[in-house]
């Protein structure tokens, strides 16, 4: 090898750089351990609420030392920005994808237009989007143009005063479209910036926020975040701050009286109608029963009685009030109570708000309002802690239903305290806002009225003004806040309002204790896999194996160093990628050592054998790693979240393992043999293994075809059988899934019954230990928003309460603590729209990888028969893995759901199968060049026998790694099981599918002519 000195210098410098990058991770780890010990000593488990107190103490400790130098003038805060990032599945935290409502943006650009064509197109687009892969705006344009004579530049749609500088009424639809696209993109960018500002102030380290294409979606990752409800409120709050005059007219009381009278009469009329029908039915039943008759008549009377009972039940059902009034004497008066604060109209129990709103939304009820109050706007107060009632306010509205002053005038906001030491939020307005605020407060002072401060349609406070107009533009919001709530509210007000609603269409929440368990299992599997590989290499190759082991350890250092330097995120699938890379990276050294052994067997000197062995193995090594790398790139391009982490580590591992196998191992081998020392590339136990092997693989191909055909057909039948198929996870079908841990073992069927009683449909499966379940439901999956998420989480808690500790609260059940062992450990939500997108991306990634690999092999081997053989083997392997999953998922004792991680596994199987096949094909091509007079079948069988040692060796080492991960990393068992099946079937298919298919489709004469042409040129 030339330039050994340069390679040695580069390896040393690169190793030092990697150690430097990883040193920051070590520094932060030691300081965080110190903080943890400090917190544990300060708050032992005997202290009430010790977990949260420890968390606060740990944070305060790190804040106190954050700027102090800890090593070489680097502080903890500086080191924290340079450490190796851990993903949510290792650290715990929250990952969400937000969908910015493009409909809201379009409605805003159209100035809330009521144009029938515009509304029709929006409604049609909402339906189309459920199954569409297009962006919302693309589908909107399509639906709009389906409406005859509809014009985007209509004066009552987009050619309005707000867009007058950009759109005129004489513009065609094609001219308006790019303008709208630009405006929508600006709004999504604005939403992105608003969210970024909110997250920056939230207090988590290494947050990640990024736009996803042009779909209006924004990815937010908050490692270490634990308060789920707080995060969701922060992200989804539009921060629509408004100031309204409060209506105190006495006519509102008259209106409530009229409401009560109207609803009371409706109820009485329905009750009378039901009574009359019951009497008619009873008479019919009585007549039938009184009839003197035979047994037939008695049977008829029994039948009539049954029919009568059914009719009575139907009539009673029909008589139920459509608003669920339960036999109230006064439907309104029975619900309301006196207001808790001045200015409010009445108070209502929280549980009755939905029913009360159903009355207020009725047009015939609104018609009871006097003419002077026809535009009044009703709004509810913020619920006070430990209170089960909220107040109803009547706000002075107008024809456009817009406030006199909105939050756009706010320039600053801060959490502070009032004179009674209550948490409040103070706000500062700009000049325009200050002027309007002075007008409103001056008017309120004169009329002794109140001004309601409304945030996202909730009245936080409605203070009166007694000392004249308030000048200077300062105002204050009170509302029974905690310090965190006050800080969050000030944060969102400073950041500004979102230009459109933001709905969480996909979310994943992982508790920190589950993350720590993942780290422990990952380290365990990593360590065991590494030890197994190191021992095997020394057992099989002796001292040469020890040199390969050193190169392998250097490779691991390089992988982690590069990850830290690139600020990549290490995930549990990422650790699996590293461990798998370790297993596969051994393949390069195995290829080299086997070729060196072949050269030595030919009688060459050790120096020449080593030189030729490295040279001859290079082509196979490059081809095998390039094909695996191509699947990794496709995975990186189409994957999201943990799958990207897997692909990133796989690609980095391929590059570093190539360098260490080809150069680092060579340095050690050449250095050892420099003084004439003999280096054996085997041990006494392995010296004669696979020598003189002469298996006629091609002769057995028909038997292999039959066996494979039976397995594939059985799998396809299972896949296509209703009720069998695959166990699709929420990634592909949409829904919510929760990993819930209990204090004791539970029976899934018992828990499932309790869940079905609440949610209508739900599944509960054991996940790992018998005290842990994976719960899945599609309840309200088409609805979004923080309120819906909280409702479902609350219902889950209530349905599981009988299986949880008696003293467990909802907050303990739902939120994450460092040492949490009972409750929701992990949760995930995938909306139906994004589930459809994930399925599409999965299909494209698999098909795309096959096409890319087919073309690459065609390019390298110059014959389509090689490509056909490789792709046939890959199709075979994928179908076998899918078939095995379909046939076994119902009785396997671990989770076998088909999710995004499974797609990563399929692509890895494709890469591994191709890796094996390409090595075999390389040797076949080499045999064709060396033995031009041999028959085709002899060349192929000879090549297969010569690579058998390498094939089985690589497969065994990779399987050792995968089995170690399968045993010790419980969350990855389904993922690892698919890879284990893939490695077994991939090894088999390279010998008995890929090569035989190539043999059956290629022409012996054609190959010879091709070789002669190449030699002549």
**Torsions phi, psi for 773 (to 5 deg):** -125, 150
Q: What is the arithmetic mean of pLDDT over 980-988?
A: 90
Q: What is the arithmetic mean of pLDDT over 559-564?
A: 91
Query: Quick one: pLDDT at residue 497?
Result: 72
32 has pLDDT over 50: yes
321 has pLDDT over 50: no
Q: What is the arithmetic mean of pLDDT over 89-113?
A: 84
Query: Quick one: pLDDT at residue 318?
Result: 43
Query: Quick one: pLDDT at residue 716?
Result: 92
Name the nearest CA neighbour of 731 among 828, 598, 612, 641.
828
Q: What is the arithmetic mean of pLDDT over 408-415?
A: 84
Name the nearest CA neighbour of 680 among 543, 547, 550.
543
531 has pLDDT over 80: yes
More confident site: 494 or 445? 445
Q: What is the arithmetic mean of pLDDT over 19-26?
A: 92
E-state strands within 191-300: 208-212, 217-223, 241-245
Specify the DSSP element, H or E, that contains 486: helix 483-495
543-565 vs 4-42: helix crossing angle, rounded to 10: 60
Query: Quick one: pLDDT at residue 810?
Result: 81
pLDDT band at 514 (very low <50, low <70, confident <90, very high): low
Q: To which residue do tokens 């800890």 refer?
A: 70
Q: How far from the centroid of its chain's Cα atoms is residue 716's Cα?
A: 29
Cβ atoms of residues 828 and 737 within 8 Å: yes
Q: What is the arithmetic mean of pLDDT over 760-789?
A: 79
Q: What is the arithmetic mean of pLDDT over 825-851?
A: 74
Specify the DSSP element, H or E, that contains 852: helix 832-861
Query: Quick one: pLDDT at residue 554?
Result: 92
Q: Give 357-367 pLDDT, tens digit per residue.
A: 888 988 898 89
Q: What is the arithmetic mean of pLDDT over 131-136?
A: 80
Nearest-angstrom CA–CA distance, 788 and 236: 12
Nearest-angstrom CA–CA distance, 873 and 914: 8
Query: Quick one: pLDDT at residue 328?
Result: 52
Q: Give 922-964 pLDDT, tens digit per residue.
A: 888 888 888 888 888 888 898 898 888 888 888 888 888 788 8
Q: What is the arithmetic mean of pLDDT over 175-179?
A: 91
758 has pLDDT over 70: yes
Q: Give 861-888 pLDDT, tens digit per residue.
A: 777 888 888 889 988 999 999 999 999 9
Nearest-angstrom CA–CA distance, 568 and 644: 10
Q: Give 640-670 pLDDT, tens digit per residue.
A: 656 677 788 888 888 898 888 888 888 888 8
Q: What is the arithmetic mean of pLDDT over 95-105?
A: 86
Q: Give 158-174 pLDDT, tens digit per residue.
A: 988 878 888 888 888 99
3-state secondary structure 585-610: HHHHHHHHHHHHHHHHHCCCCHHHHH
581 has pLDDT over 90: no
Nearest-angstrom CA–CA distance, 882 and 161: 58
919 has pLDDT over 70: yes
Nearest-angstrom CA–CA distance, 416 and 424: 5
Strands 241-245 and 346-349: unpaired
pLDDT band at 203 (very low <50, low <70, confident <90, very high): low
Q: What is the arithmetic mean of pLDDT over 893-913?
A: 77
583 has pLDDT over 70: no
279 has pLDDT over 60: no
Residues 440-445: contacts with CB within 8 Å, 24+ apart?
440/243, 440/245, 440/404, 440/405, 441/465, 441/468, 441/469, 441/470, 442/468, 442/469, 443/245, 444/245, 445/469
Query: Quick one: pLDDT at residue 937?
Result: 86
- DSSP-assigned beta bridge partners for residue 212: 217
Specify the DSSP element, H or E, that contains 658: helix 642-659
Query: Quick one: pLDDT at residue 580?
Result: 67
Q: What is the arithmetic mean of pLDDT over 479-494?
A: 78
Q: Give 212-254 pLDDT, tens digit per residue.
A: 777 788 888 887 777 777 787 778 777 788 889 998 878 888 8
Burial of residue 414 (number of CB atoms within 10 Å: 0-12, 13-18, 19+): middle
Strongest mean pLDDT among 457-471, 514-528, 544-558, 832-846: 544-558
Q: What is the arithmetic mean of pLDDT over 681-709?
A: 86
**Torsions phi, psi for 186 (to 5 deg):** -60, -40
More confident site: 170 or 580? 170
Query: Quick one: pLDDT at residue 881?
Result: 92
69 has pLDDT over 80: yes
**Torsions phi, psi for 531 (to 5 deg):** -65, -40
More confident site: 741 or 223? 741
In this prediction the pTM is 0.68
Q: How far from the centroid of its chain's Cα atoms is residue 683's Cα?
A: 49
Query: Quick one: pLDDT at residue 201?
Result: 66
């Amino acid at each position: 090898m030339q330039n050994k000195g340069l390679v040695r210098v580069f390896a040393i410098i690169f190793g030092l750089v990697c150690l430097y990058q990883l040193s920051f991770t070590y520094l932060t780890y030691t300081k965080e351990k110190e903080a943890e010990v400090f917190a544990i000593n300060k708050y032992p488990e005997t202290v009430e609420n010790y977990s949260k107190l420890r968390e606060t103490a740990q944070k305060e400790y790190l804040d106190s030392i954050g700027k102090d130098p800890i090593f070489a003038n680097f502080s903890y805060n500086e080191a924290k920005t340079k450490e190796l990032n851990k993903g949510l599945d290792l650290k715990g935290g929250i990952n969400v994808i937000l969908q910015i409502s493009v409909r809201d943006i379009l409605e805003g650009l159209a100035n809330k237009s009521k144009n029938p064509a515009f509304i029709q197109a929006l409604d049609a687009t909402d339906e189309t989007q459920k199954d569409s892969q297009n962006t919302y705006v693309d589908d909107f344009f399509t639906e709009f143009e389906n409406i005859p004579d509809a014009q985007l530049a209509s004066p009552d749609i987009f050619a309005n005063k707000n867009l007058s500088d950009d759109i005129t009424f004489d513009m065609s639809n094609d001219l308006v479209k790019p303008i709208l696209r630009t405006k929508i993109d600006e709004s999504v960018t604005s939403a992105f910036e608003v969210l970024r500002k909110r997250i920056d102030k939230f207090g988590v380290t290494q947050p990640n926020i990024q736009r996803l294409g042009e779909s209006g979606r924004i990815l937010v990752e908050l490692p270490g975040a634990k308060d789920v409800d707080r995060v969701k409120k922060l992200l989804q709050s539009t921060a629509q701050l408004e100031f309204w005059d409060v209506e105190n007219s006495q006519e509102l009381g008259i209106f409530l009286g009229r409401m009560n009278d109207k609803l009371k009469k409706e109820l009485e009329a329905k009750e009378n109608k039901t009574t009359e029908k019951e009497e008619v039915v009873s008479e019919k039943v009585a007549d039938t029963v009184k009839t003197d008759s035979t047994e037939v008549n008695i049977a008829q009377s029994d039948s009539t009685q049954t029919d009568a009972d059914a009719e009575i039940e139907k009539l009673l059902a029909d008589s139920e009030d459509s608003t669920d009034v339960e036999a109230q004497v006064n439907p309104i008066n029975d619900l309301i109570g006196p207001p808790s604060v001045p200015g409010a109209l009445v108070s209502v129990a929280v549980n009755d708000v939905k029913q009360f709103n159903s009355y207020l939304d009725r047009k015939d009820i609104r018609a009871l309002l006097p003419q002077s109050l026809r535009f009044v706007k009703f709004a509810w107060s913020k619920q006070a802690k430990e209170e089960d009632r909220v107040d109803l306010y009547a706000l002075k509205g107008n024809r456009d239903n817009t406030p006199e002053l909105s939050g756009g005038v706010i320039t600053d906001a801060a959490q502070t305290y009032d004179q009674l030491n209550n948490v409040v939020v103070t706000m500062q307005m700009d000049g325009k806002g200050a002027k309007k605020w002075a007008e409103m407060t001056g008017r309120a002072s004169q009329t002794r009225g109140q001004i309601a401060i409304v945030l996202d349609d909730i009245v936080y406070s409605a203070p009166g003004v007694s000392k004249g107009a308030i000048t200077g533009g300062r105002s204050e919001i009170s509302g029974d806040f905690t310090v965190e709530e006050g800080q969050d509210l000030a944060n969102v007000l400073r950041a500004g309002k979102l230009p459109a609603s933001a709905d969480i269409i996909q979310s994943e929440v992982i508790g920190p204790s589950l993350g720590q368990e993942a780290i422990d299992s990952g380290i365990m599997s990593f360590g065991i896999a590494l030890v197994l590989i190191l021992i095997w290499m020394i057992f099989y190759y002796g001292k040469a194996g020890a040199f390969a082991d050193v190169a392998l350890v250097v490779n691991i250092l390089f992988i982690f160093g590069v990850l830290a330097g690139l600020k990549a995120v290490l995930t549990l699938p990422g650790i699996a990628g590293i461990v798998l890379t370790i297993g596969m990276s051994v393949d390069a050294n195995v290829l080299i050592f086997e070729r060196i052994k072949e050269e030595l067997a030919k009688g060459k000197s050790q120096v020449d054998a080593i030189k030729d062995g490295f040279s001859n193995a290079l082509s196979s090594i490059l081809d095998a790693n390039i094909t695996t790398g191509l699947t990794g790139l496709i995975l990186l391009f189409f994957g999201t979240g943990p799958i990207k982490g897997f692909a990133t580590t796989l690609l980095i591992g391929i590059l570093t393992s190539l360098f260490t196998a080809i150069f680092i191992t060579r340095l050690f081998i050449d250095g050892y043999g420099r003084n004439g020392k003999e280096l054996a590339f085997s041990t006494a136990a392995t010296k004669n293994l696979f020598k003189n092997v002469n298996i006629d693989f091609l002769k057995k191909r028909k038997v292999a075809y039959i066996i494979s055909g039976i397995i594939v057909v059985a799998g396809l039948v299972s896949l296509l059988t209703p009720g069998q198929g695959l166990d699709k996870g929420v990634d592909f079908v949409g829904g919510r899934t929760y990993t819930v841990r209990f204090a004791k073992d539970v029976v899934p069927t018992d828990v499932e019954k309790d869940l079905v009683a609440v949610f209508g449909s739900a599944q509960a499966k054991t996940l790992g230990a018998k005290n842990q379940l994976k719960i899945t439901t599609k309840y309200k999956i088409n609805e979004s928003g923080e309120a819906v998420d909280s409702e479902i989480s609350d219902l889950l808690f209530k349905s599981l309460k009988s299986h949880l500790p008696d003293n467990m609260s909802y907050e303990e059940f739902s939120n994450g603590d460092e040492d949490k062992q009972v409750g929701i450990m992990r949760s995930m939500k995938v909306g139906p729209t994004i589930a459809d997108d994930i399925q599409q991306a999965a299909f494209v990634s698999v098909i795309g990888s096959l096409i890319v690999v087919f073309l690459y092999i065609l390019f390298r081997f110059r014959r389509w028969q090689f490509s056909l053989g490789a792709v046939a083997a890959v199709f075979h392997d994928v179908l076998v893995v899918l078939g095995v999953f379909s046939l076994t998922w119902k009785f396997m004792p671990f989770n076998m759901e088909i999710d995004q991680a499974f797609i990563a596994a399929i692509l890895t199987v494709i890469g591994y199968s191709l890796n094996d096949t390409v090595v075999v094909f390389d040797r076949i091509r080499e045999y064709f060049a060396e033995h031009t007079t041999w028959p085709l079948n002899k060349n192929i069988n000879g090549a297969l026998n010569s690579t058998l040692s390498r094939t089985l060796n690589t497969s065994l080492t990779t399987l050792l790694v995968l089995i170690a991960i399968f045993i010790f990393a419980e969350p990855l068992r389904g993922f690892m099981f698919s890879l284990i099946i893939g490695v077994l079937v991939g090894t088999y298919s390279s010998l008995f599918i890929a090569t035989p298919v190539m043999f059956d489709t290629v022409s012996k004469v054609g190959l010879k002519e091709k070789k002669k042409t190449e030699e002549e040129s």
